[in-house]
Amino acid sequence: MEAISTERLHRRFRKTIAVKDLTFSIRQGDIFGLIGPDGAGKTTTLRMLAGVLKPTSGRARVLGEDVVREPERLREKIGYMPQRFSLYGDLSVLENLSFFAEIYTTPRAEREERIARLLRFAQLERFAHRPAGKLSGGMKKKLGLACALIHNPQLLLLDEPTNGVDPVSRREFWDILSELHLQGVTILITTPYMDEAERCNQVGLMFRGALIEQGEPEALRQLAPGEMLVLYTPDLARAEALLPRFADYISHQVYGDRLHVFVANAAVSKPRLESFLQGRGVPILELYADEPRLEEAFIHLIRQARMETTP
């Protein structure tokens, strides 16, 4: 059963098209990751699905509700956490949770138990009386999520919830999301982190307002061009300049101290590339075949989309 379905969803801001003819669906119980560069339309998409921004045209249904005709009924069923979640810094963690329980009209008989459960769930029990403004970045994110969960939503819409927090806090946040997923909550999350996208059941790639690919992470990884060789050399700049002249070359990407080189057949091309570079004075520290990650496929697809849409 579908938790979200859209049909040619479109949003224009004056002359700027933020989301263009967006058609996709998300199954109930999935974690769906929406990725794409800044300005791709991810935030606008979430705002429309949350019922806080009306589409210019097209249709969207979320948990069976039309986002334009039934926004109030929709908000009772979803938890929406925008990039800048509005916590009240002068209120304590406990007071923030109580305030959002009131906003969502959580039954009074259930509030105390729900708040206690969420404090345990978000590992914030020790900080219940600390002002929200004095929490660390990671704890603020967890408190924001707890506030979005106070009314037991069936669907979570999370807009880059771990952006700007440390790696440990990111992992803790995802531990919470994984537990929610096991409980059957559907999650739509936008993220700039490819390792987070790998943890989703389905991933959608947006570029210039359009959804250009959608699928399971494993299937999307296969969209990287050819097979990959990883090259370590102390002369990275010269190796990169020479690569386009290599007969088996398809493309390459630079990652810090290494090059990811794409060829049609890694086993055949490995000794050829080694001979090619060493014959031109480029020393090789390591050269081996490896599986492309989602990040390599993502970069390739964005480059391809730029070429297709650039006049």
pLDDT of 107 reads: 84
Q: What tokens does 205 get?
A: 């790639």
User: In the chain, pLDDT over 70 holds for what percent of residues?
Assistant: 99
For residue 310, the model assigns a pLDDT of 60
* pLDDT, the chain, mean: 91
Mean pLDDT of 161-182: 88
CA distance 3 to 25: 8
Exposure letters 144-160 (e unless 16+ CB within 10 A, then b): bbbbbbbbebbbbbbbb
Q: What is the pLDDT of residues 145-162, one digit of tens each?
A: 999 998 889 999 999 998
Query: Structural domains in the chain?
Result: 2-214 (3.40.50.300), 227-291 (3.30.70.100)
- Residue 311 pLDDT > 70: no
- Range with the poorest average pLDDT among 49-53, 83-87, 181-185, 189-193: 83-87
Position 110 pLDDT exceeds 90: no
The pLDDT score that the predictor gives to residue 89 is 87
Q: How far is CA 310 from the centre of its chain?
A: 25
